[in-house]
Structure 1
């Protein structure tokens, strides 16, 4: 690549901003640290602070519970946080967690002191399993085929799963099939040496062993199999497999055929010439936007070149965009503002809202009706306003505890959000505030991240307590585990989905990952950072499909807010008139007046 005068040329040839040369972060890539090599001793930048040893770290790392300075000076003289009676104060006193999370097998405090030997007197929660070394893991991980305990005690005394073709099930363990009917008691209970005459007899010679298609003789019996494209039913019969029931068998559309299937793509996508099951966007190049606390960055997903689009933010957290206008919106939890700026001119940022936006962790843009929606965990509210911050309305102020991630689908008038409070859940409601419903309430504890797959009509979310990424339908049904990993999901914060890939940020790993959205396989790190990565979004036109703004051209005859209504059926209204806080909707359903 030929880099500009404003860029630094890495040893690998990629270009990065000159601002990132010798800034303490390795930005050239995992195997290329040329941007941090041979750097002179320097003063820290505006967005950094100096450690006692004169090295520099990001301001966001001060008093975060982790020693980022080599001498630990970033954790000295930190103010304490007062925790409630039902909370535990993490080491350093800066963060509170629920007391019920003490000694549950998960390190929820930055230093892991909630799972220390001093705090945990060899007790595990009822839904946990105690390993041989007295540590705790989630109970559901016992006998899952993968050792989670350091001593592998979670995989002991598990019922065997023998390979039907090559192994014999003795009842409590498996032996090789060639040891069956050899005259020796290899099982220890004589199960491999039956005395009923089955040894040496070929049952397949008698009416094909009762099998509909394929009979396989074994030393001590037989079993039935089916031809490709069919599955075994009741041990003997074969039925056509509906391959389309297998998630991810096709990227988008699956058509079942007798003994086979075929894959198709929706409009705007074409089948990958190298793999006809997969669909690729026919136009545009996808990028990844992510808030980096001290700036907002963009990664080209073609060659992973990173550029800064907004510099010197104080606490950039939530983020969204309008692709058709090239406008980005973000929240800054330190400056307590919502901003917007052109994606190509980040320096021209404008304050959208600066009042009562104290802790806004979730932000979503309605690209059809030109509104922004946000969650506020300090006031426990969800609000809406237009792109200028006017017409501000509180949609929800009750039955919210810790609302966080937020996503909207304006073509159908639905919004979705996570709440990681005492009764953690995922909810949905109309974008006009009607038809509110909790759609995920079981086996959910710390749902941080949420994203919509508009092509497959799926919700993707991550749970930081379960270290898992899930998916489900828009109504909460057909829930699936996509990926469980304490290595790649120790504390996920944000997730986004495009084509066959999901991307997520993780606080503890201080990195952004990607993996297959159907299987969770092929996990790959695409960005490392010394500061906490926050919200991530794939930036591509297909993530904001065209639709009809039913409020145009006369604002739906509404005097103030015109909001999309949820499409609950063919007769459902397309829009709803609403009033900003302080005004009341009159009986005509159109006019707002003072309360």
Structure 2
């Protein structure tokens, strides 16, 4: 059985890289849980940022998936299901589908976080008012925090210092921390939280980010240096990757993207979304965050394409704010298709001579107009 499980892991890892790579360049993948409409089963989606395409995780018996994370060591997606009362895992190809842990009907599994290197999984159970820890290989479980909590929800692991941080939505709203064994517990933030739900960490910057009822705020790990990142609609979950925050919002069928200094990017959209809830972002084929100056990306810090304001995602080079006029997504390196030009390549060339295409930026006809038309863009009729 162990041999077969290893084969599943290797196969799924290769499939994810094949699905998400398409090239030797690093990729960024967004995992999204969607609880679906009332009375209908939800879904888990895999959004490939570089290719800008969405696929659905094909496993049976998903009902209301909520929190989600990814184990870069084995290539497994982990999630909680608040209607099935369990934590589950599978590969992106739907292989090695396993119920990791089952709970009783009084449980409400609101949060989930992994440390794949230490092989530890942590979860919050709002129904039982506890935080649990599991060994990801043996599946042995223990409760590490069980007092003085009302509604523990979002949770994130600081894998560098082996601490966890979580939000509590109770009457005394707070963000707390402890070590992996439940010791050294202390409060980090105790005021101005307003329904704190999702929480994430930028380990390199040493900052926590959390979302609440209309905002994302940030603090250093000791609770100092608090600042507001963005004010928006009521938010559900947030994750940070390479200086960008990805978040879901109440009753919105999109994934918002904003920089850590509050600049909004173009949202990730799909007609398949119903009620996105949990979110996690990772790279399947690079182990560390890419560090490049603004306007550059990748392991070699290549120059971004013709992005709006020169900004591209620093792992993939995708222009998340869109392209300058005359260029195509996702990396804005290629001009508009023949016969189109301008902003988002939405304008059509007009009456160019000899069926020649127009300039992909300006729409100008390079060798003039067909009879009866004039002007640089051949839009003026001759009377």
Give the TM-score normalised by the residue count of structure 1. Answer: 0.41
Contact kept? 2:26, 2:286, Cα under 8 Å: no
CA distance in 2, matches of 1:453, 1:283: 23
Deviation of the 1:458 alpha carbon: 0.9
Deviations 1:403-424 (A, max 9, x none): 0000002231111000111000
Partner SS, residue 534 of structure 1:
strand
The one of 97, 101, 104 equivalent to 1:356 is 104
Displacement of 1:506 after TM fit? 1.1
**Which of 283, 288, 295 lines up with 2:43 in the alignment?**
295
Q: 1:454 aligns with which of 203, 210, 215?
A: 203
Contact 1:471 1:482 in 2 (8 A): yes
Aligned residue runs from structure 1 range 243-254, under 5 A = none
Q: Aligned partners of 2:259 and 2:241: how far apart in 1? A: 10
Distance, in Å, in 1 between the alignment partners of 2:210 and 2:184 is 21
Question: Which residue does the alignment assign to 1:539?
Answer: 282
CA shift at 1:517, angstroms?
1.6
Please provide the CA RMSD for this pair: 2.2
5 Å-filtered alignment, 1:271-290, equals 284-290=26-32
* Counterpart residue number, 1:366: 115
- Residue 392 in 1 paired to residue 141 in 2? yes
**Is the contact between residue 110 and residue 124 of structure 2 (CA under 8 Å) also seen in structure 1?**
yes
Distance 2:44 2:287 in 1: 20
Which residue number corresponds to residue 177 of structure 2? 428
Choose from 157, 167, 171 the match for 1:408.
Answer: 157
Partner residue of 2:189?
Answer: 440
- 1:186-235 deviation line (CA, Å, top 9, x unaligned): xxxxxxxxxxxxxxxxxxxxxxxxxxxxxxxxxxxxxxxxxxxxxxxxxx
Any conservation in 2 of the 1:290–1:533 contact (CA below 8 Å)? yes
Confirm or deny: 8 A CA contact 1:352 1:389 kept in the other structure. Answer: no
Correspondences of 1:6-25 after superposition (within 5 Å): none
Q: 1:481 aligns with which of 224, 228, 234?
A: 228
Does structure 2 conserve the Cα–Cα contact (< 8 Å) formed by 1:324 and 1:541? no
TM-score, normalised relative to structure 2: 0.63
Pick closer, same or farther for the CA change 1:334–1:521 going to 2, 3 Å: same
Distance in 2 of aligned mates of 1:499 and 1:545: 9
- Unpaired segments ≥5 residues, structure 2: 1-23, 36-41, 290-383
Contact 2:33 2:66 (8 Å CA) reproduced: yes
Name the CA distance, whole Å, in 2 between partners of 1:422 and 1:513: 28
Instruction: For 1:351 and 1:325, locate their aligned partners in 2 and report how far apart those are by CA, in whole Å.
Output: 16
Whether 1:310 and 2:58 are equivalent positions in the alignment is: yes
Contact 1:407 1:417 in 2 (8 A): yes
Q: Distance in 2 between matches of 1:484 and 1:325?
A: 37
Show the 5 A alignment for 1:210-225: none
Contact 1:418 1:450 in 2 (8 A): yes
* C-alpha distance in structure 2 between counterparts of 1:544 and 1:427, whole Å: 28
- For residues 472 and 542 of structure 1, the distance between their equivalents in structure 2, rounded to whole angstroms, comes to 29
Aligned length: 258
SS at match of 1:329: strand
In the aligned structure 2, how far is the partner of 1:462 from the partner of 1:542? 28
After TM superposition, what 4+ stretches of structure 1 lie above 4 angstroms from structure 2? Answer: 541-546
Partner of 2:216: 469
Question: Matched residue of 1:448: which SS?
Answer: coil
Query: Are the structure 2 counterparts of residues 499 and 514 from structure 1 closer, same or farther at C-alpha, using a change threshold of 3 Å?
Result: same
Q: Which of residues 488, 492, 496 in structure 1 aligns to 2:235?
A: 492
Whose Rg is larger?
Answer: 1
Shift of 1:451: 0.5
1:298 Cα shift?
A: 0.8
Q: C-alpha offsets along residues 155-209 of structure 1, whole Å, 9 cap, x if unaligned?
A: xxxxxxxxxxxxxxxxxxxxxxxxxxxxxxxxxxxxxxxxxxxxxxxxxxxxxxx
Q: Which residue of 2 aligns with 1:503?
A: 246
1:527 pairs, out of 249, 269, 273, with 269
Q: 8 Å contact 2:27–2:285 — kept in the other structure? A: no
Structure 2: distance between partners of 1:287 and 1:530: 16
Larger relative contact order, structure 1 or 2 (CA cutoff 8 Å, min sep 6): 2
Partner of 1:330: 79
Distance 1:492 1:542, change over 3 A: farther
Aligned equivalent of 1:586: none
